[in-house]
């Protein structure tokens, strides 16, 4: 056997304990491809398949079970010593964090985060940086930000992740819009022009256009805005239709004289997660902030829907 890469021990422990690549990845807060890569390296390292498929399940080999019995006490002792020497007192801490978040994330998540953070850790300062196209990964890699909250379907192996919540789509139109006098269906939806917004709204627009293309249909997009916040006020004075995250549309409608309607066809939910670079994984302050967001902040976000068995246990 080659010399052991100690960084692979937590991966080995999770894989043998959970007997699932996806569950092990969720526990450690990494992507499934990253965990599959770790399993391949472990197999090469030990010269053993370690996990063998039996039907729909993975079963550890005898050698994997023996190695796990030998390594796990050492891993638990290492974790205990690390945590004991890395105490973090949020009430007394003075630290700044740079976050990367779109206007949508700032709208739905920051009120809950800031209100609770001021009580739990008044000395911690947040600086929220505006998003740039595909900039989150580079900013994490270059250490310009410590945390990215948003939708990131294919993060690189160098990033850790924890799922936060899901968001559904809905439509927004002005009060008195002519379509409100008609049955609300896909034909009515397509009879009018549309207003799109970049950012996370682009996810729903992309899914919507893909679904329409499968039916041989399309929308007429008259305007594209760079921000959500102007959308309801532009709609108020036009007959355009916007498709937005439901929590934002529901909050803005009473302020702008607009009406919320369900999406005219089923759309995949938008999955929001927080991402951080592996260099911050063991940082006590960073780990505290991640746990704080998962355990305290989500309770104040109406759109939050915790998924049992998600990566929230691996912060």
- As a whole number of Å, the CA-based R_g of the chain is 23
Give the 3-state DSSP-derived string for 224-290, with helices as H, strands as E and coil as C: EECCCCCHHHHHCCCCCEEEEEHHHHHHHHHHHCEEEEECCCCCCCEEEEEEEEHHHCCCHHHHHHH
Pairing of β 270-277 and β 258-262: unpaired
- pLDDT tens per residue, range 257-306: 999 999 999 999 888 889 998 778 878 889 999 989 988 777 777 666 44
Mean pLDDT value of segment 166-192: 96
Residue 185 CA to residue 188 CA, distance in Å, equals: 5
The answer to whether 117 touches 124, Cβ cutoff 8 Å, is yes
**Residue 57 CB neighbour total at 10 angstroms:** 10
Residue 160 CA to residue 152 CA, distance in Å, equals: 11
Which residue, 250, 247, 228, 287, is CA-closest to 165?
247
Residue 39 CA to residue 53 CA, distance in Å, equals: 13
pLDDT band of 76, cuts 50, 70, 90:
low
- 1-15, 167-181, 217-231, 262-276, range with the lowest pLDDT: 1-15
Residue 46 CA to residue 3 CA, distance in Å, equals: 10
pLDDT band of 307, cuts 50, 70, 90:
very low
Domains of the chain in start order, with CATH, are 6-84 (1.10.10.10), 95-156+278-313 (3.40.190.10), 169-262 (3.40.190.10)
**Residue 290 CB neighbour total at 10 angstroms:** 23
Residue 81 CA to residue 257 CA, distance in Å, equals: 58
- pLDDT tens per residue, range 7-43: 788 888 889 878 889 888 876 778 889 999 999 999 9
| HSE-CB of 171 using CA atoms within 13 angstroms | 27
What pLDDT, on a 0 to 100 scale, did the predictor assign at position 85? 55
Distance set, CA 249 to CA 9, 42, 127, 243, 304 (Å): 46, 48, 26, 9, 15
């Amino acid at each position: 056997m080659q010399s052991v890469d100690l960084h692979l021990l937590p991966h080995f422990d999770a894989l043998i304990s959970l007997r699932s690549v996806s569950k092990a990845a969720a526990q450690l807060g990494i992507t499934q491809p990253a965990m599959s890569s770790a399993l391949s390296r472990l197999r090469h390292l030990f010269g053993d398949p370690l996990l063998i498929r039996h039907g729909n399940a993975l079963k550890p080999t005898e050698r994997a079970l023996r190695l796990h019995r030998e390594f796990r006490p050492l891993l638990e002792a290492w974790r205990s010593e690390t945590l004991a020497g890395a105490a973090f007192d949020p009430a007394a801490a003075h630290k700044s964090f740079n976050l990367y978040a779109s206007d949508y994330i700032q709208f739905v998540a920051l009120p809950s985060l800031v209100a609770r953070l001021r009580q739990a850790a008044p000395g911690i300062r947040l600086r929220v940086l505006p998003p740039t196209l595909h900039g989150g990964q580079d900013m994490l890699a270059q250490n310009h930000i410590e945390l990215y909250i948003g939708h990131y379907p294919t993060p690189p192996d160098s990033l850790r992740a924890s799922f936060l919540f899901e968001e559904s789509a809905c439509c927004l139109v002005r009060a008195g819009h002519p379509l409100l006098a008609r049955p609300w269906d896909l034909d009515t939806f397509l009879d009018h022009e549309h207003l799109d917004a970049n950012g996370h709204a682009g996810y729903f627009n992309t899914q919507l256009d893909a679904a329409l293309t499968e039916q041989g249909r399309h929308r007429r997009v008259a305007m594209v805005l760079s921000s959500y916040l102007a959308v309801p006020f532009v709609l108020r004075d036009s007959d355009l239709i916007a498709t937005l995250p439901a929590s934002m549309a529901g909050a803005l409608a009473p302020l702008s004289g607009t009406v919320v309607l369900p999406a005219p066809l089923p759309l995949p939910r938008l999955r929001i997660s927080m991402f951080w670079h592996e260099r911050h994984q063991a940082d006590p302050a960073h780990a505290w902030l991640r746990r704080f967001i998962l355990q305290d902040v989500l309770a104040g976000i109406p759109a939050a829907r915790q998924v049992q068995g998600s990566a929230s246990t691996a912060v």
